[in-house]
Amino acid sequence: MPDMLHDKYRFMSRPLPSRLTRKSLLQLSVVVSAFSLSPDAFSRTTHQTTNNSTTQHDPSAKPAVGKANMPKKLINKAHTGDKLTSHGVEEVLVSGGRTANGPRSAVKPMLISNSPLSDIAVVSHLDNEQIRNTPVHVSADLLRSIPGFQVADFQDGGIAQGIGARGWSTESDGNYVATYIDGSIRNVYSGVLNGYNDLNPLIPELIGGVTVISGPFDVRYGGNFASAGSALFTTRDDVATGISASGGSYGKARVLGTYSKHIGNVTFYSALEGMYEAGYRQNGITRRINSFNKVVVNISPEDTFKMSAQGYWTDYGQPGSIPLSYIQQGLISERSPRYNKDRGANNQYTLNAQFEHVHNNFTLDATLFFNKTWLIRQITLGLPGTVTPQREYLDDRYTVGAAIEPYWKFHLPNGGLFDIKTGLTNHIDWARDFRIPGHDGVPYTAENSQFFSSFLNMNRFMEDNLSTYLSTSISPLPWIKMTGGARYDHFFYSINDTKYNSATSGLRRQRLSTSVGTPTVKAAIAINPYKPVTIFVNYGQSVTSPDANSDITVNPSLAPTVLTSGEAGIRYDYLPLGAHVQGSAYKTIDSNEIGVNQATLQTQNMGKSYRWGFDTDAAITLFKYHGAKLDLHGNYNWVHARLDSSTNNYIPNVADWLASYGLNATVPVDKVNRRALIMSFDHNFVGPQPLDKARNYTAPQYQRLSARVMYNDKKLSNMRVWMSAIVFPTNRFAEDAWISGSTIYTAPQPRLMLEGGFSFGL
């Protein structure tokens, strides 16, 4: 592979990142080890206080006993921003008593709060420990632990993975889920796909928590791209100095080193990650260097400032999808690539700043965000052995964002509560999105006849999403809570586009400026007839912005796609048994289904669509005694997803149902619970998926098993030693399967992936 994508107009000229080989990874490991083993390297493992081992939204963390053991900042905030919890609910939240287990146990729908955990909706939450106990091959695998979520690992290097839920397909780049990291949206507007959602820059050990809202029901986070829901990641505020190293199947090696410092009211940590993987399939190599740094300044008991900076560099091969029939006939190996010279790379530089002011019952949040991305992909389509042009993608962009979000909470005369939350956000992209036919990483020029094709599109554009929202919740009586809100999203476009014009067999240049926008509304009610039971009904809308590459250039006045969803459910939480049971039914109408044509890797408008289905999940603590604990959880999800037509109305690549069960066990090996054996196991089932709108072709049901066994010694610098496994016991070709004509393409999964490692500190 050449080290540079180049054409004479310098559309794509940029050197790729330097190669991260096994040798250089070993050198990096030595450097990180020396860096981490400074004299005070592991002297502060106890600095991972409970508020840092969980996310800032996790209300189940146990406080220290007595104010004398609490930092001054925590003492003040315990009596300000969130002190007005409705009708004694706070006692349940911070009592330190036994709580229900499972991803949905942290949710408090009757609470009047600014936290998304208080949404009247189906909300799930994973804290740092749950995340670190989850076996993952790619970062998107973390969402497999969320009931009703489906993930497709494309086994295709460092690209975004497929994420689906509530009838939304995994044959996408995760663009149906609005994803936020530390308050800033990370979906790429008008990217390789509109809403491109790459979670690979996340470092699991540094994630404080993730909160997932199923459906478009949060007024703050349920705007653009929130068709299936919203995923809110927060990074940890404090990480102890330490090191982690692991290795696994197919040449995978990874090392992570952290260094932290505390100076007065300032906390700082720096993390450096290196990863190398040869990959299960040929041309499946992935190399990555990832640097993340964060500083937290407690300016005063009421004011906190946080800033993080990240540099992310990866390059990778792309095995692509190959015909299933070729594998079955023995014409090619399942590990063969479509073309062994397809490559990709992604360089990102990110800066994120957050300021929080809390005074009595008023909170002000402000966020600033900057990102520079340079991404390339090379994809060869068609049957193996045929000669077709390579598709060269370039996404070179600058992104800035800002938000200011005040929040107030008030008493009612009768002792009830109500609040007001509002916000103004702006997200702007300046981008070059070029798509040019080429060969072996070199784009064609006009001198080559294959340059002129329907794939050719060279677009320079500005896209600006200005949005505002207003919401209020009221709990006039102990057993009822109501929420209502609205938001408005406006999109401004300035486009300078050059593409192939088939009518003239030449180039068409287009300059235009336009703006489109639409309002959306939210409404919900929750009733708590007696303490363990909550009944809820909600209604919400979200939007999908028009694509600057494929929509606005065709129809400048095209309005955003509006999705409307309604839901009703009931949940039961019984703390003495650590039990949680929940069920909900929903119906969703999308004004214009936007699918992905995998044969061309282009979005396609499929018309109006309907989805209705139900989600159920349950969790219980079967045993808890002297530090030993055994939890069991499971869920089942069914959906009916159809296009608004009398025939050929199936929505492709949507599983008929999902199911899973799992268990988590903790076995202490000493009397003071400083040493423990921790085990987790999950068994996922994915139902049949239609591959075409007529359902003439179907991907069969498949299963995925994951397990992890870890020994944790908190006394010995929080040492962890673990082994994990991911197994596909049945069909290995259905997780990523799609059809072109009558040919089914697949990206095979390995039967077994093993990984083992250790860490100190962290």
Q: What is the pLDDT of residue 104?
A: 63
Name the residue ranges covered by the structural domains of the chain.
4-760
Question: What's the rounded mean pLDDT across residues 330-345?
Answer: 95
Is 185 within 8 Å of 177 (Cβ atoms)?
no
Q: What is the pLDDT of residue 195?
A: 95
Please state, in angstroms and rounded to a whole number, the distance separating the CA atoms of residues 135 and 722: 10
34 pLDDT higher than 70: no
341 pLDDT higher than 50: yes
59 pLDDT higher than 90: no
83 pLDDT higher than 70: no
Please state, in angstroms and rounded to a whole number, the distance separating the CA atoms of residues 468 and 363: 17
552 pLDDT higher than 60: yes
Please state, in angstroms and rounded to a whole number, the distance separating the CA atoms of residues 458 and 496: 8
User: How does DSSP classify residue 134?
Assistant: S
Q: Which two tokens stand for residue 697?
A: 């072709």
Question: What's the rounded mean pLDDT across residues 178-183?
Answer: 98
Q: What is the pLDDT of residue 599?
A: 57
Q: What is the pLDDT of residue 262?
A: 98
pLDDT tens readout for residues 668-705: 998 887 899 999 999 999 999 999 999 999 999 999 99
Q: How confident is the model at residue 606 (pLDDT cuts 50, 70, 90)?
A: confident
Please state, in angstroms and rounded to a whole number, the distance separating the CA atoms of residues 469 and 485: 7
Please state, in angstroms and rounded to a whole number, the distance separating the CA atoms of residues 712 and 278: 29
Please state, in angstroms and rounded to a whole number, the distance separating the CA atoms of residues 458 and 181: 30
Which range has highest mean pLDDT (96-105, 231-240, 604-613)? Answer: 231-240
Mean per-residue pLDDT of the chain = 87
Q: Identify the three-state secondary structure at position 243.
A: strand
pLDDT tens readout for residues 146-166: 999 999 999 888 899 999 999
Backbone φ and ψ of 32, nearest 5°:
-65, -40
pLDDT tens readout for residues 265-314: 999 999 999 999 999 999 999 999 999 999 999 999 999 999 999 999 99
Range 641-644 contact pairs with CB under 8 angstroms and sequence separation of 24 or more: 641/167, 641/609, 641/610, 641/611, 641/613, 642/609, 642/610, 642/611, 643/593, 643/606, 643/607, 643/608, 643/609, 643/610, 643/693, 644/607, 644/608, 644/609, 644/610
pLDDT tens readout for residues 67-77: 334 343 333 34
Please state, in angstroms and rounded to a whole number, the distance separating the CA atoms of residues 278 and 316: 10
Q: Identify the three-state secondary structure at position 131.
A: helix
Side-chain half-sphere exposure of 681, counting CA atoms within 13 A? 8
Q: Identify the weakest region by mean pLDDT among 87-96, 380-389, 478-487.
A: 87-96
Helix, strand, coil abundance in the chain, percent, nearest 5: 10, 55, 40
Looking up tokens 């014009």, which residue turns up?
Answer: 501
Fold of 4-760: Maltoporin; Chain A (2.40.170)
Q: What is the pLDDT of residue 95?
A: 26
Question: What's the rounded mean pLDDT across residues 494-506?
Answer: 91
Q: What is the pLDDT of residue 384?
A: 87
Q: What is the pLDDT of residue 576?
A: 87
Give the end-to-end CA distance of the chain in Å, rounded to a whole number: 38
Q: What is the pLDDT of residue 423?
A: 98
